[in-house]
Amino acid sequence: MARVIAVTNQKGGVGKTTTCVNLAASLAATKRRVLLVDMDPQGNATMGSGVDKNALELSGYDVLTKRATPADVIVTVENGGFDLLPANGDLTAAEVELMNEIGREHRLRLSLNSIRDTYDYILIDCPPSLNLLTVNALSAADSVLIPMQCEYYALEGLAALMNTVEQIQETVNPNLEIEGLLRTMYDPRNSLTLDVSAQLAEFFGDKVYRAVIPRNVRLAEAPSYGLPALKYDRASKGAVAYLALAGEMVRRHGSKKTSEPVAV
Ligand code: ADP
Ligand code: MG
C-alpha cells in the first residue's frame, strides 16, 4: 500500500515541484515504485518530467471529473523511473466543475484508491495556494512534506501552513500527519539560514530532515531538459542531496520495501 505524501507550501517558489520530480526519481533509484501526481494547473511537474503538458490526451482533469480512471491517464517517465499523472491548465476547469458537487474534496483520494497497491510512494505536487485542488491533495494524503527556504518570513508562512493542516485534520482528513520539513536552496554561509534552521529544530524537532537541498544551478537547469537532476548531472550537488533525502525518508519508514525491485 503506497504512502501518499502531499508536497505542499502555500508559498510559491520554495522548491515544491523541484522536490517532487527529484524525490520521485531518487525514490525510484532506491527501487521503490513511485507515482507523481501533478495537482498544479501550471503543469511544472509534468514538464519537468519530460511530458508535454500541451499535448496531453488525458490528464488530472479527466480523473477529477470522473471522465477517466488514473490508470487511463498515467504515463511512464522513462528518464525518471517513475510514473506520472500529468496535468495542465485544464485542472482549473476541474476546480470550477467540482464547485457544486457533493464530496468534491475527496475526488482525488477516492480515485487513487484503485491504484494504491501498485506503488510504494505517491507524491502529490500542490499549487501554491489553498484551493480545492490543494484540499483534494491533503484529503488524499497520509502526510505532508513541506519544502521551505530558511529566510526571515519562512516561519510566519509555516505558522499559516500548520493552521491549514489543523483545519484539514478537523474536517476532511483526521489522519493527516507531518511527514517532515525540508530545507531547500540552503546556503550555510548565510547566518540567517543558520538562525532559521535552529528555530525550526526547536519547534519541529526530528520532523526537520537532516538532508538539506543546497542552492544548485543543475537543479534549476534540469527541468528545461525535462529531466530529474539525477539523469541530467548525476554527480551534481543537487542530485546527490535528493538521493540523500530519499535515503533518509526510506529509513524513517523502517526501510520496508513493499515491492519487487524494478530496473532503473
Ligand atoms: P515551487 O514549486 O514551490 O513554486 P519550484 O520547485 O518550481 O518551486 O522552484 C522555484 C524555482 O527555483 C525554479 O526555477 C527552480 O528551478 C528553482 N529551484 C528550486 N530548487 C532549487 C535549488 N535547490 N537550487 C537552485 N534552484 C532551485
Ligand atoms: Mg510548483
pLDDT at 130: 92
pLDDT at 257: 52
Average pLDDT for consecutive 10-residue bins of the chain (264 residues)? 96 96 98 98 98 98 98 96 98 96 97 97 96 97 97 86 96 97 94 92 94 98 98 98 98 66 46
- Ligand 1 atom closest to the Cα of residue 184 is 23
State if residue 219 touches ligand 1 by the CB under 6 angstroms criterion: yes
Among 11, 18, 36, 123, say which to mutate for ligand 1: greatest number of ligand atoms within 8 Å of CB.
18
pTM: 0.95
The domain of 114 spans 3-252
Tell how far the Cα of 125 is from the centroid of ligand 2, in angstroms: 7
Strand segments (E) across the chain: 3-7, 34-38, 75-77, 82-85, 121-125, 143-149, 177-184
Tell how far the Cα of 264 is from the centroid of ligand 1, in angstroms: 25
Residue 263 lies in a domain: no
pLDDT at 152: 81
- 123 vs 106: CA distance, rounded Å: 17
The set of cell numbers assigned to 172 is 476532511
- 99 vs 259: CA distance, rounded Å: 38
- Ligand 1 atom closest to the Cα of residue 9 is 3
Only one residue has cell 499559516, namely 160
Q: CATH number, domain at 114?
A: 3.40.50.300
Alpha-carbon dihedral angle through residues 133, 89, 80, 228, given to the nearest 10 degrees? -100
Q: Which ligand lies nearest the alpha carbon of 42? A: 2
Residue 27 lies in a domain: yes
Classified as helix, coil or strand, 132 is: helix
The set of cell numbers assigned to 6 is 502531499
Residue 259 lies in a domain: no
- Ligand 1 atom closest to the Cα of residue 215 is 24
Residue 8 lies in a domain: yes
Residue 104 lies in a domain: yes
Going by alpha carbons, the residue nearest to atom 19 of ligand 1 is: 15
From the list 118, 37, 48, 42, the residue with the least C-alpha distance to 80 is 48
Report phi then psi at 260, rounded to 5.
-70, 145
Q: What angle do CA 49, 53, 58 make, to 5 degrees?
A: 105
pLDDT at 254: 80
Count of domains observed in the chain: 1
Task: Locate all alpha helices (DSSP H) within 122-252, ordered by sequence.
Answer: 132-140, 154-170, 191-204, 217-221, 229-232, 237-252
State if residue 35 touches ligand 1 by the CB under 6 angstroms criterion: no
CA distances to 7, 74, 180, 187, 251 from 244, rounded to whole Å, are 17, 27, 14, 17, 11
Q: Which ligand lies nearest the alpha carbon of 184? A: 1
Environment class of residue 188 by beta-carbon count within 10 Å: exposed (0-12), middle (13-18) or buried (19+)? exposed
pLDDT at 263: 46
Residue 257 lies in a domain: no
The set of cell numbers assigned to 129 is 495556494
Query: Any idea how long the chain is?
Result: 264
Q: Which ligand lies nearest the alpha carbon of 145? A: 1
State if residue 18 touches ligand 1 by the CB under 6 angstroms criterion: yes
Residue 261 lies in a domain: no
Residue 225 lies in a domain: yes
